[in-house]
Chains A and B, each alone.
Chain A
Amino acid sequence: MIEQRAVEPAQLFEAKKESQFITGSEAIREAIRRANVEMAISYPITPQSESMHLVGDLFAEGYIKEYFRGENEFAVMSSVAGAAMAGVRVFTATGGPGTLRAFEAFPTWAGARLPIVCAFMTRGVNSPLTIQPDTIEMAYMLDTGIIMLHAETAQDLYDMILRAFIIAEQTEVHIPVGVFTDGFFVTHTRDKVKIAPADMKLPPYDPYSSPVPVMDMENVPFRQMRDPFVMKSNYVSYAAHASWQQEVMAAAERARKYIKQYIGELIETEYPDADILLIGSGTAVSQSREAMAYARSEGFNVGLVKIKSIRPFPAQEIRELVKRAKVVIVPEFNRVGWLAREIKSVAEDTTKIVVGPHVFGGMTMPPGMILDEIRRTSV
């Protein structure tokens, strides 16, 4: 283990970086190595397992103080919640069926204001049994209350995970951040990733910056209420529950400025004034970028929008971009087209939005498919 010193987040993020040719799973290890994580809990599922093996290696080396394999994803997400309630910085990861197995836990993370960081390495869900890349689980996660960042590359993954802790732990945010990446395409491929020196790490988490009491009996243990709200049919209990949920939503809204501060705008654009805009997230952006290059060489006026933050959603930014474009194409790695739905929900004129192309079941998306849409819509 390399001796590390805790530095201010900005110092770590802006430190002179070294380029390494590593997989997405290894990029996760490098982020966690520098994240000053106290505890991590794992459970195997392809294509996530390798990343949590590597996090386990960090534990063996001494970078993390506590690590174990839980009994299933619901239990893991519960144990992670317990650890966060008791005031430590925690990390875990899952994907596909694991995400669904754990599902009931995610809204409670947000509701309990826990700054957990979880990586989701997405894959298809059964039936029939599949382990292949697919982003359908993100459709289910949209309304759990957690912040959702979507990494396109291993570099994004490294950057987003490290910054996710700082965003999640802001007192006025203090809700979980899920960093999603497309399984296999990012986790199992190698890419150049610029990483900070290994002798630096994030400052420790201060549990008493939490907006809700830490469960450690080191702060006032007084009964929370004189009358339990649950199961009372009266206005006060309705209002208490409703306002709590509104506050969780507001916390996600307040995260916008920290996402901007640490990760940049919620979207990135190339040729945003083009007639035809390709809008995507995750590796669909990489495929779209290639399609855009072909199309532009053929003389089509095509631009690209990469959405980095799915929750909070860049509603205002997307509305403006869609307004200017003649056609919007939304390529996705899933069958339901959840991103197109999101875009439609904020666009003024939804008729110019092409829902697709969609690839699912494990294939990659040939840029030719996107190119076909560009040609078809240009006629």
Chain B
Amino acid sequence: MKKNIFQISPSFYDVMPAEYRELVENGPFEKKVGVSDLGAFKELSEEHPLCAGCGLALSLRLILASLPNPEDTIIVGSTGCSAIAFPQVAVQNIHSLFGNQNAIASGVKRALTLRFPDKIKDVVVIAGDGATVDIGLDMVMQSWFRQERITTIMLDNEAYANTGGQESGMSQEGAVLHMAPKGKTFPKVSLPELARASGCVYVAAVNPAKPKKLEKAIVRGVLAARELGPTYIQVFTPCPTNYKFKPNETIEKIKMRVKEGTYETTEFISAEAQELFARLEEGKK
């Protein structure tokens, strides 16, 4: 996309909403901005209605600010809490159904490759843990098996948050949640391992307590998907509303879990991705 596509006609300037004007004048398009520049540019997301202290809302802001190429990124979402924030996101984004995000993204990516063979078009899936590991798992993994060049990002709040806090495959063993009244009887699914075994060329588990690390994973995940094959990034995004902790404790919760070893941050870089990153970093110097 060339930025002039959404330039405002001078005669309409005064009636356009303020956030639109700001986006045109000071948005992240065609600029090299990232999480360290937050506050100095107009962000892609606007006034989301998610709960106070929502780990998912914070992560979404960071993810959007990390996108290496927002002007040519198409996001595919899924039903869940994040779907309520996406209507206000200034990147074209798709909500189709609950769980079919990676199948939709496969079609989008292949179609854009046909239409724009010489242009970069990044397709990024952003969906909840329920959407990714439960109802949509077959389509997620099949897109990896097929080596679709898409980035899959899971917002892992360890529950079906939007429907009121039910157990998901990503909940911890023993967690007492709706639909698991006696506690979850099986362990948290290790999707990073499955991703690796299913052909992802880059896999990372990160969290918003470490924004620079999160940013690096997103950039790597998008670039590796663009050049090589599927990538998977899991973001730990605790939910104060359903796990019933105070909204100002979200970051503390993350740090505690990492410290006690119940939420690992990991990174897997395939040999080809390693080579690609080295090349790109070399090019930057």
Contact = CB atoms under 8 A, between A and B. Distances in A.
A331 B268 CA distance: 62
Given A223-B46, A223-B89, A225-B87, A82 B107 contact: yes
A226 B88 contact: yes
A66 B111 CA distance: 8
A66 B114 contact: yes
Contacts of A258: none
B90 to A, nearest CB: 5
A70 B110 CA distance: 13
B138 A217 contact: no
A220 B91 CA distance: 9
B1 interface: yes
Contact of A222 (B90, B114, B115): B90
A39 B88 contact: no
A66 B90 contact: no
Contact of B142 (A39, A66, A75, A222): A75
B86 to A, nearest CB: 8
A49 interface: no
Given A79-B107, A215-B92, A217-B71, A86 B112 contact: yes
Given A75-B142, A217-B121, A221-B91, A88 B97 contact: no
Interface size class of chain B, counting residues whose CB lies under 8 Å from the partner chain: 35 or more
A221 B6 contact: yes
B103 A222 contact: no
A222 B107 contact: no
Interface in B114-152: 114-116, 121, 138-139, 142, 146
Question: Which of A70, A217, A218 is the most central at the interface, judged by chain B CB atoms within 10 Å of its CB?
Answer: A217
Contacts of A144: none
B5 A80 contact: no
B93 to A, nearest CB: 8
Nearest to A220: B6
Contacts of B100: 74-75, 78, 105
A2 interface: no
Interface stretch (A51-59, A158-166, A227-235, A290-298): A227-235
B96 interface: yes
Interface in A118-177: none
A370 to B, nearest CB: 42
B107 A80 contact: yes
Interface size class of chain A, counting residues whose CB lies under 8 Å from the partner chain: 35 or more
Contact of B17 (A71, A78, A79, A226): A226
A107 to B, nearest CB: 10
Nearest to A74: B100
Contacts of B47: 226
A351 interface: no
Contacts of A316: none
Given A218-B5, A228-B87, A85 B108 contact: yes
Contacts of A76: 103
A190 B24 CA distance: 60
Given A71-B138, A78-B139, A220-B6, A108 B107 contact: no
A216 B97 contact: no
A275 interface: no
B87 A223 contact: yes
A217 B142 contact: no
Given A38-B114, A68-B146, A220-B5, A215 B108 contact: yes
A78 B107 contact: yes
Contacts of B121: 216-217
A19 interface: no
Nearest to B20: A222
Contact of A71 (B23, B93, B142): B142
A83 B83 CA distance: 21
B276 interface: no
B76 interface: yes
Nearest to B101: A78
Nearest to B6: A220
Contact of B104 (A68, A79, A224): A79
A213 B111 CA distance: 15
Interface in B58-96: 71-74, 76, 83-94, 96
A81 B172 CA distance: 35
A131 to B, nearest CB: 24
A84 B23 CA distance: 28
A203 to B, nearest CB: 16
B39 to A, nearest CB: 20
Contacts of A104: 97
B124 to A, nearest CB: 12
B106 interface: yes
B113 to A, nearest CB: 8
A11 interface: no
Given A71-B138, A216-B74, A86 B96 contact: no
Interface string B143-187: 000100000000000000000000000000000000000000000
A367 interface: no
A41 B71 CA distance: 28
A70 B76 CA distance: 18
Contact of B103 (A39, A79, A230): A79
Contacts of A65: 114
Given A75-B100, A81-B96, A82-B111, 13 more contacts: A66-B111, A70-B142, A74-B100, A75-B139, A84-B107, A86-B74, A216-B116, A217-B74, A217-B92, A223-B19, A223-B87, A223-B89, A230-B83
6 contacts: A79-B110, A82-B105, A82-B109, A85-B94, A222-B23, A228-B86
- By Cβ-Cβ distance, the 8 closest A-B pairs, closest first, are A82-B107, A86-B111, A78-B103, A83-B107, A79-B107, A82-B104, A78-B100, A75-B103
